Structure 1
Amino acid sequence: MKPVPSGGITRRSATRWIAGTVLSGLAAPSLLERAALAAPRPATLDPDASAFLDEMERQACLYFYEQADPSTGQVLDRANNHITQGHLDPRFASSIASTGFGLTALCIADSRRYLPSDNIRKRVLATLQFHLRPMPTEHGFYYHFNDVKTGLPLLNIEVSPIDTTIFLCGVLTCRAHFKDPKIADLATQIYNRVDWPWMLNTGKTFALGWLPATGFLTPRWDHYAEMMMMYLLAIGSPTHPIDPSCWSSFTRPRVRFERYNFISGHDPLFIHLYSHAWFDFYRKRDSYADYFANSVTAVRAHKAFCLSLNRGYNDDYWGVTASDWMHGYTAWGGPPLLGPVDGTVVPSATAGSLPFLPIDCLRVLRSLKEKYGEYAWGRYGPCDAFHPDLAWYDADVLGIDLGISLLNIENFRSGFVWNTFMRNPEAPNAMKLAGFRNY
């Protein structure tokens, strides 16, 4: 390890060097204070680590290309990880969020030349064209799960503003990355038609969703979670914006665990990762917090929480977020304890946390591959979750979990998704309107 440099720290070198702060109160710590509180990062990745992460990215990009219908561009919610020839999994449920991650994955694949550029552009165009028309929407919002070939919503599935937001982030990443007027026009139409005030349902916070039979769901997106990107896209909309005051309408509860104090609901770890996959919160703060530093603290607290459980977790084996487990799908993690945490490990928890605690997370991922790769790794990388002591290895991968892993691995390595997405003028403008400032 090299020591933290004392001067000349750029955006990229700071991302490499500084793991973050354990404090995220109203007073912003100085850069030197951050460095003093931080665990050092490697100045550069060693060749083996770089090759390891590159292979994880390549495999994830393959999922988003192979497990999508080529005509609609919709990405399957999940697929078997032991498919040997890359055929489309026979299951038919697509996820609008997986498709959003998939559009961003295509940008990464194009940047890193994992796939032929012409094939990628054709897929992006097909996806945007289908999702503009004839994909069903309500006021520009998409249904959560749909038939991968027809786009029709599955039975009793809600129109989801958060999953629509993830899709839109992918759409806007494509608009910024590809120098293609057709892609830009389609992406702009998809974003601009979203009627954000409608989803507020006469309130100041977004409804959780909407069902055709019964209307708006009663719960709201009213406390800090993964939805920061949703409020920002809505504030920044050039056609149907919400008032910037809505940014202050959701609560920011705090969690205390051991020496850690941070903003969080009683939610899985992924809530601290998703918005950060696209929006660049580094060295920015609003009236309430530095959210990048808050996520650093949340990941540190999560590691300490896992190790405190005496359920098999250690420095080489930790990380739990919403995922499959032996009995289905569950939202689990902590702190505080949420769900039936039983010693299962979820690779996307540490892969998605790489920008926030890189040395610790990279150690886990490499250890998991070294010790359990024969069983836990497949065509698309690590399976969604596994519990080696119980000899259980999930047969599937999930699009959203591969997605957050891929995007934040790439952000850790190069900052590509941050740099690309933030070129959309609506993103920095929304952050400005919400009261963010650099420091």
Structure 2
Amino acid sequence: MKKIFSLALLSVIIGCLSVNAQPRPADLTIKKGLTDAQLLTLVQKQTFHYFWDGAEPLSGLARERYHADGVYEQNDKDVIATGAAGFGFGAIVVGMQRGFITRKQGVERLTRQISFLEKAERFHGVWPHWMYNTGKVKPFGRNDDGGDLVETAYLAQGMLCVRQYLNKNNKTEKALAARIDKLWKGIEWDWYRNGGKDVLYWHWSPNIGWKMNFAVTGFNECMIMYIMAAASPTHTIPASVYHNGWARGGAIDTLVKPYGYDIRLKHNGAPGSVGSLFWAQYSYLGLNPKGLVDKYADYWQENRNNTLVNRAYCIDNPKKFKGYGEDNWGLTASYSVKGYAGHSPQEDLGVITPTAALSSYCYTPKESMKVIRHLYEDLGNKVWGQYGFYDAFSETDNWYPKRYLGIDQGPIVIMIENGRTGLLWNLFMSSPEVKAGLKKLGFKSPYLKK
């Protein structure tokens, strides 16, 4: 019995060691003359490793951040980020599909991740924003020590992509898909209506209840939360929650034309213009905006125009920051010269965030490719490291921090893949619950005809 226990323990230890606490040795030599396809694959593969050997060692899930310079302002080097973990699910699917890892390796890692999530703290089925590697919640703020419905929506989006990718004819993969299904069905989206209101609330805590009082209305990065809630087969919401809450009874509708591009959705906090580019990305890692239309917008056109406005603003460069142009654009939430900022045309601090243009590849392939090539070939190791492009930089301030954020790295791998093959879009949209949820909310999509 002792021998069996020792072998089992050794197996766990070896499994944990396979997720390196230190970055893998990486060839950081800049290779000029790569084709577009070669460069895209290189960027995807290098960035994928943030979620593979850069993951938190015990859970195998995505860290909130990784600083190659070794300097952390908070004691959070090994803190797990729920949203980034969801993005990591998609990144691992891409890794298996493109041969960055074997399918067996991918399934083993996914199994470890799901095992962790099964035991981690949940609040009416909802995970917190941050977790320690014990599975206990790490408060995101003084009044944010419970469930985070938005981050959980990102996690669930990734889990459904994995579930759909797994082979139902393989016993191991089928069993894993069933475990994912159980976690998905355990998320109590309806609880987060705060007593049956016609809107979803971002946070709930057993300690302070609804004190955060954050009713989520659109338009911003949170649309996927309403889609997932409507799609739930066990804890669904009526369509009125979407239309009266998210769409604010129709008040989400607008028509402005920054730089000549139609914007039909009123962006929260950005009247008359557009917000950060992650608003056009996080909800659409699985949710395919191509042909996705409801009575408020055509989401492909809306997201593409949002991206083109962001690009046009950087080319216009009204504040005359150094480096901005056709090959160097992209404003989104990220590290900033002084802390963290939600960079946008309304909050332009001279900081370019690579994920902004790179994760827009599916919307603007030619325009984004110019940025990718410029960053890699011209700025090179100033902005390129062992896990792909660093989070942000400013040529104006000569600021090139060697730091990564998981929630910024994930969309790079996924949205480039969606632009190339539609992989994650096709997986997510194949979910029967997603189709049912979209129909309930009045959406049209090519997938609803299949």
TM range (shorter): 0.7 to 0.9
Aligned equivalents of 1:227, 1:342: Cα separation in 2: 24
Unaligned runs of 5+ in 1: 1-45, 84-88
Contact 1:71–1:127 (8 Å) recurs in 2: no
Aligned equivalents of 1:121, 1:390: Cα separation in 2: 44
Please tell me whether residue 429 in structure 1 is matched to residue 429 in structure 2. no
* 1:233 CA displacement: 0.9
Q: Which amino acid in structure 2 is aligned with residue 206 of structure 1? A: L
Matched with 2:126 is: 141
Please tell me whether residue 384 in structure 1 is matched to residue 391 in structure 2. yes
Aligned equivalents of 1:226, 1:90: Cα separation in 2: 24
Unaligned runs of 5+ in 2: 1-32, 168-172
Aligned equivalents of 2:321, 2:332: Cα separation in 1: 15
Matched with 2:339 is: 328
Aligned equivalents of 1:104, 1:277: Cα separation in 2: 8
Matched with 1:26 is: none
Matched with 2:101 is: 115
* 1:390 CA displacement: 2.5
CA offsets 1:326-345 (integer angstroms, 9 cap, x no match):
211111212xx13xx23221
Aligned equivalents of 1:90, 1:259: Cα separation in 2: 43
Please tell me whether residue 224 in structure 1 is matched to residue 219 in structure 2. yes
Identify the match of residue 292 of structure 2 among 279, 284, 291: 284
Identify the match of residue 244 of structure 1 among 235, 239, 244: 239
Identify the match of residue 203 of structure 1 among 185, 197, 222: 197
Contact 2:351–2:392 (8 Å) recurs in 1: yes
CA offsets 1:177-217 (integer angstroms, 9 cap, x no match):
11111111111011101111111112111112123432122
Q: Secondary structure at the match of 1:306?
A: helix
Matched with 2:30 is: none
Matched with 1:233 is: 228
CA offsets 1:334-387 (integer angstroms, 9 cap, x no match):
2xx13xx23221000001111111111111121111111121100011000011
Please tell me whether residue 295 in structure 1 is matched to residue 303 in structure 2. yes
Spell out the pairing of 1:393-404 with structure 2 (5 A cutoff): 393-404=400-411
Contact 1:325–1:394 (8 Å) recurs in 2: no
Contact 2:56–2:79 (8 Å) recurs in 1: no
Q: Percent identity of the aligned residues?
A: 27
Q: Which amino acid in structure 1 is aligned with residue 122 of structure 2? A: T
Q: What is the TM-score of this pair, normalised by structure 1?
A: 0.83
Matched with 1:272 is: 280
CA offsets 1:128-159 (integer angstroms, 9 cap, x no match):
12211x10000000100111x21211134442
Q: Which amino acid in structure 1 is aligned with residue 38 of structure 2? A: A
Please tell me whether residue 105 in structure 1 is matched to residue 91 in structure 2. yes
Identify the match of residue 425 of structure 2 among 418, 421, 425: 418
* 1:388 CA displacement: 2.6
Contact 1:387–1:393 (8 Å) recurs in 2: yes
Aligned equivalents of 1:72, 1:80: Cα separation in 2: 19
* 1:108 CA displacement: 0.7
Alignment RMSD = 1.9
Identify which range, 286-295 or 388-397, moves more after superposition. 388-397
Contact 1:97–1:400 (8 Å) recurs in 2: yes
Matched with 2:182 is: 189
Please tell me whether residue 77 in structure 1 is matched to residue 64 in structure 2. yes
* Runs of 4 or more consecutive aligned structure 1 residues displaced over 4 Å after TM superposition: none
Q: What is the TM-score of this pair, normalised by structure 2?
A: 0.81
Matched with 2:24 is: none
Matched with 2:138 is: 154
CA offsets 1:373-416 (integer angstroms, 9 cap, x no match):
12110001100001134221122111111111111000011111
* 1:253 CA displacement: 4.7
Distance 1:82 1:420, change over 3 A: farther
Q: Which amino acid in structure 2 is aligned with residue 427 of structure 1? A: V
Q: Secondary structure at the match of 1:353?
A: coil
Matched with 1:131 is: 117
CA offsets 1:36-74 (integer angstroms, 9 cap, x no match):
xxxxxxxxxx96111111011101211101122344232
Contact 2:161–2:424 (8 Å) recurs in 1: yes
Q: Secondary structure at the match of 2:340?
A: strand
Q: Which amino acid in structure 1 is aligned with residue 116 of structure 2? A: F
Q: Which amino acid in structure 1 is aligned with residue 312 of structure 2? A: A
Contact 2:289–2:300 (8 Å) recurs in 1: yes
Aligned equivalents of 1:49, 1:81: Cα separation in 2: 27
Q: Which amino acid in structure 1 is aligned with residue 259 of structure 2? A: E
Aligned equivalents of 1:379, 1:52: Cα separation in 2: 15
* 1:79 CA displacement: 0.6
Distance 1:256 1:218, change over 3 A: farther
Identify the match of residue 159 of structure 2 among 155, 162, 171: 171
Contact 2:82–2:152 (8 Å) recurs in 1: yes
Identify which range, 215-224 or 375-384, moves more after superposition. 215-224
Matched with 2:313 is: 305
* 1:236 CA displacement: 1.0
